[in-house]
């Protein structure tokens, strides 16, 4: 009788453990309707995305390894990230719009820059601000403007 009792107890334990349990509850998460970016890119993601945004291709492993070595070898991570952005912007392989192209159609350049780096269209205020900056500062280059976008707070999020 003890074997039957043990078997019955074992069956009850197994049946009790087979209850359905909700593991993932995705119904409680709501996407942001405003499209606000809330997730901070880690530094490796930032470097990879910055390269892709500038060169239009994934970062080659050798280049990523070089950036990673520079990143881990220096204590001030913000400074290293800034230096990497500046280094990418001075690469001879990057194709930057000329000052003449920017001046001839600043609206198109600004809109394309917002889409390229911030993945959105500029607001009317942002567009007016950058148009006035380009008109008032004729020595402002695409490199300068790209640097501002790549170091702004919004670019650090996705």
Q: CATH no. for residue 103?
A: 1.10.3130
35 lies in some domain: no
The residues of the chain scoring below 50 in pLDDT are 11-17, 22-34
Whether 22 maps to a domain, the answer reads: no
Provide the pLDDT for residue 37.
77
pLDDT (tens digit, 9 = 90+) per residue, 22-60? 444 444 444 444 457 788 888 889 999 999 999 999 999
Is 128 among the domain residues? Answer: yes
Q: How far is Cα 152 from Cα 146, in angstroms, rounded to an integer? A: 10
DSSP designation for 28:
G
Please state the domain count of the chain.
1
Q: Is residue 139 part of a domain?
A: yes
Q: What is the pTM of this model?
A: 0.74
pLDDT at 74: 78
Residues 6+ apart with CB under 8 A from 117: 53, 146, 149, 150, 155
> Exposed, middle or buried, 98 (CB in 10 Å: 0-12/13-18/19+)?
exposed
Residue with token string 């490199």: 143
Examine residue 109 and state whether it is found in any structural domain, yes or no.
Answer: yes
Range of the domain at 67: 43-156
């Amino acid at each position: 009788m003890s074997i039957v009792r043990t078997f019955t107890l074992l069956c009850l334990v197994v049946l009790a453990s087979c209850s359905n349990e909700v593991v993932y509850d995705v119904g409680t998460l709501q996407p942001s309707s405003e499209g606000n970016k809330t997730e901070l890119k880690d530094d490796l993601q930032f470097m990879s995305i910055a390269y892709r945004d500038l060169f239009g291709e994934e970062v080659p492993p050798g280049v990523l390894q070089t950036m990673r070595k520079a990143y881990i070898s220096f204590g001030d991570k913000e400074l290293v990230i800034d230096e990497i952005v500046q280094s990418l912007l001075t690469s001879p392989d990057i194709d930057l719009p000329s000052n003449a192209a920017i001046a001839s159609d600043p609206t198109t350049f600004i809109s394309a820059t917002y889409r390229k780096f911030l993945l959105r269209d500029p607001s009317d205020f942002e567009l007016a601000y950058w148009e006035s900056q380009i008109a008032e500062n004729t020595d402002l280059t695409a490199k300068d403007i790209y640097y501002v976008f790549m170091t702004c707070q919004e670019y650090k999020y996705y």
